[in-house]
Structure 1
Amino acid sequence: MFYFFFESRDTPKDDPVVIWLTGGPGCGSELALFYENGPFHIADDLSLVWNQYGWDKASNILFVDQPIGTGFSVVNDVNDIPHNETVVSDDLYVFLQSFFEEHPEFVKNDFYITGESYAGHYIPALASRIHQENKGNPKIHINLKGIAIGNGITNPRIQYLFYTQFAEDNHLITPGERKDIDDELYEGCTEATYNCGTKGDQNCLLARDKCEAIVNKIMSIAGDINVYDIRKKCIGEMCYDFSKLEKFLNNHEVRGIIGVANEFVSCSRVVYDAMRADLMKSFHLGIPELLEDGIKVLIYAGEFDFICNWLGNYNWVSFLQWSGQKQFKEFKGVPFLVDGTDISEGGMLYTFGPLYFLKVYGAGHMVPMDQPDVALQMLTAWMKGQL
């Protein structure tokens, strides 16, 4: 697996180690590194400039291209590309064991798993794998302290059922149109997602079609919106212009410096297709055990993202069955205040015990890109137990 590792700008020997997993599935971690929370941004002339809100200001941070076949993590045979989270988490666990073996000075540091979008699948799967291995006799004990998922897809069975409410609340559809969509498509999606969880991959592919019909119907009414940020127009296939990234990483000199031979593609369609049946599987089931054992769980979401919207995320978190469920659901929320020139509200925070949910104001799907100061303060306060 290919990765970038940046030591903390402050105190690397003491600061936590954070791994960042980009979603897709099949999108390179370099998207986050250079457009969101890495130490550098790419200037128009393809030079690198410091990111004053890089997460390396609070942590030692790993950006990993995964699943294999993504970014610079190459495969010789496309059949080796994972099709499910068991293989994905196996590969990541082996990678982390190797990483800490190569960097033993960081083994004692607190460890956090972070990411966004499809990482709502990756992160719980990897965290559960690490947590179970730690209860045995692992070669290297990984000091897992918490997980953070940004605008993730974690529990599709619940999340898909809140698209119409989000769309109505944001005036993308009318109340009557919402009722029509719910009456026509809600039950089919619900039944199909249940079958996905109990009857195998073909049913998961069917569930995807049934539930995506809800999204497609909304989009046919709403028109040309950016599903990652409803305030903006969609530009190109990915709705954002990441062309500078591919120009930079495919520069002959840059590739020589980082020691890669293959061409960089921001998002791999081959990996995406390989993981198609995985999308509709729910990965919330391992999270209660993490919470009960004191592992911190932070779910955050930009308020203007449609595709992994805050409403669906808040509701799957609220429905999570653990000992603090009642208290979490009863919590009315408090403003998340951001220090800057002026103290301002960066979002609304809901919490009980080790579970946190943050609705981030003024952000779409990529919170660290849209609200970098909020994202850095969120991470720092959360890791320090001050959120």
Structure 2
Amino acid sequence: MIFENFYIHANMIILKFICSITLALLLTVSTVRAAPKKSVISSLPGFVGTLPSKHYAGYMTIDGSPGEKNLFYYFIVSERNPSKDPVVLWLNGGPACSSFDGFIYEHGPFKFQAGKPKESLPTLHLNPFSWSKVSNIIYLDSPCGVGLSYSNNPKNYVTGDLQTASDTHTFLLKWFKLYPEFLSNPFYISGESYAGVYVPTLASEVVKGIQIGEKPLINFKGYMVGNGVTDDKFDGNAFVPFAFGMGLISSDIYEACQITCGGKFYDPPSEGCQKNLEKVEQAVSGLNVYDILEPCYGNSETRNGSGNTNMPLGFHQMGVNKKPLPKRTSMFGRASPFWSTRDTEASSPGSQDGYHVKCVDDEAAVAWLNNEAVRKAIHAAPVSVAGSWWICAGRVSYSGDTGSMIPYHKNLTSLGYRVLIYSGDHDMRVPFTGTEAWTRSLGYKTIDEWRPWMTDDQVAGYLLGYDNNFTFLKIKGAGHMVAQTKPREALEFYSRWLDGKPI
């Protein structure tokens, strides 16, 4: 009888073990199949060889008013450990500029070699410093009307900061339902330039969703912003000290600005201040605003359009704002980093046109993303449906409707989310001097004193660590698009920060 009971008990244990193994296998199969097959990318025109990891792309449709908004994404599975590595959303700025800028020119899986002639298909080579080496990464064209994202109703191209954050949050909820195998991975939001607004406003929407138990529950851990627009006064007052520190203006001009403006470069208090700021404008007008060390690509009237300027933040009113900036001939207020250099003749809302960005080489991207074979391969709508790809979308009418981002940062850090704010120190569009100033203004306790950080035994930049998981990082010699000018260094700080290791 004892042996019989033992036999029955043993069989039950074995049966439970078999059931658990079967269930695990079923879950594994379902996990593998969760990613939509129709979104799988098997090959890419211009690239010869096997993709370094799985790639997916397609549209996520969300409700518009009226009609629908079709937001295009390109998702790259991590080359390291997809089931454990973070999922990172990347957003380029503008506003209204395509995240394929980041994909093609910064930290995507390929380096693009422009074709000859320039209209021909580029050649793609593997990028040794791709951020997909250490993370799963989503490149999203947002808001609707940007890049390959489109709507059948042009009214959906009228948007602003708050609507964009809401739409992108809706996209994320739908995306994680489509890719549930990544729901438990740590999730981070990242971006640069005007994404200094996109990122914290979206992060706030995600946190609100988490707090009310919105499903699926996103495993949000923090965010990172590069050379990001943040606050009118801090950004606007940063330029003159930057220009002087970089040796772009003389001591006489700098001292005259200090005396007549009293540090209020964002809001010039007198005609004398205005005249001295115009001297600063004249001194820097021939430089590449995105990287003062580099030549200005395509510097011609035909490429850049009429009315363009190479001036930094706020010299001219930019974009469409619900709370318009004061109208002046020269000012240093909050700006849309790409809108100030757009081709103003090809940017009316609702049109199919976009615009080039002064000093930025976009020829490889234009040739590749407007090729119908490429669009078919990445599951994007043809030109006849989604329109031509431009680095920045002229058909989008965008309103800046939020104000300073500092309250957003304070709120998010008070809730325990990790934050990395980084700046290329040769960017004149959003100078590091303003970013360093506003991060200091938060009043957080310094826990990692100002120090150099290293790559390959060389100083790569400087770092200042604050309480509340908040870090300010400067990249030596980098421009506005940090990973484009300093790819090795960018991957270094990106991977270490995501892994929770000291930079």
CA contact (8 A) 2:446 2:464 kept: no
CA deviations 1:71-104 (Å, max 9, x no partner) are 0011233332243211011000000000000000
Query: Closer, same or farther in 2 for the Cα pair 1:212/1:148, shift >3 Å?
Result: farther
Q: What is the rounded CA distance, in whole Å, between the counterparts of 2:140 and 2:86 in structure 1?
A: 17
- Aligned match of 1:290: 412
The runs of 4+ residues in structure 1 deviating greater than 6 Å are 211-216
CA contact (8 A) 2:232 2:266 kept: no
Taking structure 1 as the reference length, the TM-score comes to 0.87
Q: Which of 319, 327, 346 is matched with 2:446 structurally?
A: 327
User: Residues 190-229 of structure 1: matches in 2 within 5 Å?
Assistant: 190=267, 218-229=280-291
Q: Which of 382, 395, 402 is matched with 1:261 structurally?
A: 382
CA deviations 1:284-316 (Å, max 9, x no partner) are 211112212221110001110011111111111
Write the letter of the residue equivalent to 2:454: L
Write the letter of the residue equivalent to 1:286: Y
CA contact (8 A) 2:160 2:399 kept: no
Shift of 1:187: 4.2
Greater Cα shift, 163-172 or 73-82: 73-82
Please tell me whether residue 345 in structure 1 is matched to residue 421 in structure 2. no
Q: Which of 484, 491, 494 is matched with 1:369 structurally?
A: 484
CA deviations 1:182-232 (Å, max 9, x no partner) are 52596483499xxxxxxxxxxxxxxxxxx9999865332223000101112
Shift of 1:257: 1.6
Please tell me whether residue 80 in structure 1 is matched to residue 156 in structure 2. yes
Shift of 1:345: 1.3
Please tell me whether residue 25 in structure 1 is matched to residue 95 in structure 2. yes
Q: Which has the higher helix share?
A: 1
Give 3-state SS (helix, strand or coil) of 1:178's partner: helix
- Aligned match of 1:275: 398
- Aligned match of 2:30: none
Shift of 1:367: 0.7
Give 3-state SS (helix, strand or coil) of 2:80's partner: coil
5+ residue gaps, structure 1, are 193-210
Write the letter of the residue equivalent to 2:494: L
Query: Closer, same or farther in 2 for the Cα pair 1:350/1:253, shift >3 Å?
Result: same
Shift of 1:332: 3.7
Shift of 1:377: 1.1
Give 3-state SS (helix, strand or coil) of 1:299's partner: strand
CA contact (8 A) 2:422 2:473 kept: yes
Give 3-state SS (helix, strand or coil) of 1:49's partner: strand
- Aligned match of 2:297: 235
Give 3-state SS (helix, strand or coil) of 2:376's partner: helix
Please tell me whether residue 162 in structure 1 is matched to residue 279 in structure 2. no
User: Residues 281-320 of structure 1: matches in 2 within 5 Å?
Assistant: 281-320=403-442
CA contact (8 A) 2:74 2:139 kept: yes
CA contact (8 A) 1:163 1:215 kept: no
Give 3-state SS (helix, strand or coil) of 2:204's partner: helix
Shift of 1:130: 0.7
Taking structure 2 as the reference length, the TM-score comes to 0.67
Q: What is the rounded CA distance, in whole Å, between the counterparts of 2:275 and 2:475 in structure 1?
A: 28
CA contact (8 A) 1:181 1:217 kept: no
Q: What is the rounded CA distance, in whole Å, between the counterparts of 1:21 and 1:31 in structure 2?
A: 9
Q: How many residues align?
A: 358
Query: Closer, same or farther in 2 for the Cα pair 1:152/1:188, shift >3 Å?
Result: closer
Q: What is the rounded CA distance, in whole Å, between the counterparts of 1:284 and 1:17 in structure 2?
A: 25
The percent of aligned pairs where both chains have the same amino acid is 33
CA contact (8 A) 2:114 2:123 kept: yes
Write the letter of the residue equivalent to 1:40: F
User: Residues 28-177 of structure 1: matches in 2 within 5 Å?
Assistant: 28-45=98-115, 46-177=122-253
Larger Rg: 2
Q: What is the rounded CA distance, in whole Å, between the counterparts of 2:98 and 2:187 in structure 1?
A: 21
Report the RMSD for the aligned CA atoms in angstroms: 2.3
CA deviations 1:25-49 (Å, max 9, x no partner) are 1111111101101111212341211
Q: RCO greater where, 1 or 2, for CA within 8 Å and sep 6 or more?
A: 1
